[in-house]
Structure 1
Amino acid sequence: MSKRIEVKDLNVYYGKFKAVEDVSLTIEPRTVTAFIGPSGCGKSTFLRTLNRMHEVIPGARVEGEVMIDGKNLYDADVDPVLVRRQVGMVFQRPNPFPTMSIADNVLAGVKLNNNKLSKSDAEHLVEKSLKGANLWKEVKDRLNLPGSGLSGGQQQRLCIARAIAVSPEVILMDEPCSALDPISTLAIEDLIEELKAKYTIVIVTHNMQQASRVSDKTAFFNIAGTGEPGKLIEFDDTTTIFENPHVQATEDYISGRFG
């Protein structure tokens, strides 16, 4: 079910400002890829180009290609809504819909896509998705209570359940643990390890230890200075990036000399 992502010569603009310059990389199926780098270097912007989420900002555009199994997401005949169904997104702060129950939160994306489900199919999908997000045992007796009543870590896993309910092939995570305590962070990291058996996962993180723990590949982004575009400096196996990087700037960032 998971897909290979091939990015070729990608430039990302907000109006006249070039936010990301000339990125090319390949993300393999059923792997976890981490994007690291200092604030403002284009990690999250680049992540959002992988499901066209950056387009919700007026004036945003890209040059280049993002191919998923050989199909360019930016071809004129591609519907961005379908792209976002295929490539799910989990955001920095847990964002369950506050007026919806836990069960309705899980089904929100499915209903948005106008998928009609019978009551039994809906119940099955809720259970399957919550189990997939390692949340079922904790919430199975309160599915009709508001999702906003869960702890922060549980809310983030609820958002992951909502993302996988629409059967995506890729899951993007933009600093999914930055608002969570260490125990909740560990639960999300364990979940990422389980999810990669089915999905291609890309995660932005400022936490070097997290990147080294959860990812198979790591991409280091950097920026030359204020107003300059973010660039991909180095992309390799995570072990290589953290133990034997080929670029001095990568080693300087990982060792805490800047950023």
Structure 2
Amino acid sequence: MSKRIDVHDLNIYYGDFLAVEGVNINIEPKSVTAFIGPSGCGKSTFLRTLNRMHEVIPRAYVKGQVMLDGDDLYGPGVDPVAVRSHVGMVFQRPNPFPTMSIKDNVLAGVKLNGRKISKSDADALAEQSLRGANLWNEVKDRLNKPGSGLSGGQQQRLCIARAIAVKPDVLLMDEPCSALDPISTLAIEDLIEELKENYTVVIVTHNMQQAARVSDKTAFFNIAGTGKPGHLIEYDDTTTIFNNPKDKQTEDYVSGRFG
């Protein structure tokens, strides 16, 4: 588990519109990388290219390479569904399946991938995944109750448990705390710190304090104006980005002059 991502000259399109231009980035395994930048600069769009979710949108496509330990995710014959089993994703709002139990929510991805699994193995995997998401002790006595009955923060951790149950190499998180209260946010941030021991974690956040707290490296994206493509402006160790950025755009953003 935990693989390196290398992106080369990536251009991201919605039909004829070039949304993000010329991204080159290397993301280290067993680390947390944060994407920051103003709304509309392409950071979430870029995140979705890392597991081929972008092309789910009609007429959306990319040009360039996204390499996972040297394998091009956009190479000929590569199955997007297989890519998503290696590169999991947690979305902005918790989205447990409302009619499913907590346990069935955790195992949903495994079953959708067509894996046959015995009841004892399913029980063990559900417990392992819920422990991995720091949720086991809170739900172990109500595994057969609906996942929708959990609090917002618990639902988000349930979604993380569901993502890691399929044993991905990379975990993408698109603003995972934006809909949560401060206590739930702290729980997710603590969990992110633990997850990097086993996974490559990439997080989009509008909260710069959060990026500073949880990430090892930070990528700053920006956009020149409406209708222009987003660009990766600067990518470095998080302490450098926030304390000694090389580009004035980065300095202006992290110091609160715009955004």
Instruction: Show structure 1 runs of 5+ residues with no match.
Output: none
User: What is the TM-score normalised by the length of structure 2?
Assistant: 1.00
Aligned residue in 1 for 2:159: 159
1:135-183 Cα distance to aligned partner (Å, 9 max, x none):
0000000000000000000000000000000000000000000000000
Counterpart position of 1:10: 10
1:203 Cα deviation after fit? 0.1
Secondary structure of the 1:162 match is helix
1:84 aligns with 2:84: yes
> For the residues of structure 1 that align with 2:94 and 2:249, how far apart are their CA atoms?
32
Q: How far, CA to CA, are the matches of 1:214 and 1:82 in structure 2? A: 28
The one-letter code matched in structure 2 to 1:60 is A
- Which residue does the alignment assign to 2:53? 53
DSSP 3-state at the match of 2:78: coil
* Structure 2, unaligned runs of 5 or more: none
For 1:37, the aligned partner's letter is G
Give the CA deviation at 1:88: 0.1
After superposition, give the CA deviation of every residue in 1:200-246 in whole Å (9 maximum; x if it has no partner).
00000000000000000000000000000000000000000000000
Deviation at 1:185, TM superposition (A): 0.2
Equivalent residue number for residue 148 of structure 2? 148
Query: Distance between the aligned counterparts of 2:221 and 2:127, measured in 1?
Result: 38
The count of aligned residue pairs is 259
Shift of residue 133 of structure 1? 0.1
User: Which amino acid in 2 is paired with 1:126?
Assistant: A
**Which residues in structure 2 correspond to 1:85-124 (within 5 Å)?**
85-124=85-124
Q: Report how far residue 92 of structure 1 moved.
A: 0.1
Q: Which amino acid aligns with 2:66?
A: V
Identity of aligned residues (%): 80
RMSD: 0.3
Specify the SS of the correspondent of 1:156: helix
Separation in 2, partners of 1:100, 1:89: 19
Tell me the CA shift for residue 77 of structure 1.
1.3
1:215 aligns to 2:215 (yes or no) = yes
CA distance in 2: counterparts of 1:36 and 1:86, whole angstroms: 24
Corresponding residue number in structure 2 for 1:194: 194
Counterparts of 1:151 and 1:107, CA distance in 2: 20
Misfit runs of 4+, over 6 Å: none
Is the partner of 2:203 in helix, strand or coil?
Answer: strand
Which residue identity lines up with residue 94 of structure 2 in the other structure? Answer: P
Q: What TM-score results when the alignment is normalised by the length of structure 1?
A: 1.00
Map of 1:63 onto structure 2: 63
Q: 1:115 is aligned with what amino acid? A: R
Q: Matches of 2:52 and 2:124 in 1, distance apart?
A: 30
What is the rounded CA distance, in whole Å, between the counterparts of 1:94 and 1:85 in structure 2? 19
1:76, distance to aligned residue in structure 2 (A): 1.2
